[in-house]
Amino acid sequence: MRDQIIQQIKENKIIVIVRGIYGIDREKLIEALWKGGIRLVEFTFDQKSPEKWEETCCNISETVARYGGKFLCGAGTVMTLEQLKMAKTAGANYIISPDMNPQVIQETVKLGMVSIPGAFSATEIAEAAKNGADYVKVFPAVSLGPEYLKALKGPLNYIPLMVVGGISYKNIDAYMEAGAAGAGIGGEIANKKWVESGEFEKITEAARLTIEKLHGGTHE
């Protein structure tokens, strides 16, 4: 199962990050993402609002129930073993974190999910891989740009790196050319203002543009 999840991430490359969107708005958002060609989504835990964690898990379980294996769901901003276990119970396929926590990485793999911890330096990235990470999320990627990623890929070319933070259809091709294995994209696609105003067609179009650019398109 882990191998299948890794393969789907490898093929689809783009994980859309969904923050603070629940219920019917989340349902409409996921439908818009689906129409736009997105097949990987991350529902994040709000560390400041533990009362929302169950809703995050509902986002995962309800999306899994509706789309099954056609739409792979992950849990994001997972920083504790408690959150990890909640995500597993909800049906998450992969675990994404902003930090590099060896316990979370090891337990994720043990539970049969794909591990994508966050790191920034070469030391952190290598340590994440040593602890069993399947991918390492370079975050925040936009701070130092594609050249930083390209420099990391020199000595660390054996570690699949995903880029998160400031990625959009406008720059995703530069990061992929620099060696990124994939990207996490939040508000550039899952824009809360568009959700609140019911402009779901904009979400679908942003998803399509991003995928097109990923595959060599030239839209601006």
Sheet holding 161-164, edge to edge: 114-116, 94-96, 72-76, 40-44, 14-18, 182-185, 161-164, 136-138, 118-119
170: left (phi over 0), alpha (psi -120 to 50) or beta: alpha
**42 has catalytic annotation:** yes
Annotated active-site residue in 13, 88, 107, 137: 137
Look up residue 78 and give its two tokens: 């997972």
Clarify whether 193 is annotated catalytic.
no
The catalytic residue among 13, 42, 62, 213 is: 42
Question: Which tokens is 134 given?
Answer: 């399947």
Q: Please tell me the chain's helix, strand, coil percentages from 3-state DSSP, rounded to the nearest 5.
A: 50, 15, 35
Q: Which residues of 42-51 are buried (b: 16+ CB within 10 A; e: fewer)?
A: bbbbeeeeee
What gap in Å lies between CA 28 and CA 51, rounded to an integer? 23
Cα–Cα distance, 171 to 193 (Å, whole number): 22
By residue count, the chain amounts to 220
Task: For residue 101, give the amino acid letter.
Answer: N
**Distance from the first to the final alpha carbon of the chain:** 38
Which residues participate in catalysis according to the annotation?
A: 42, 137
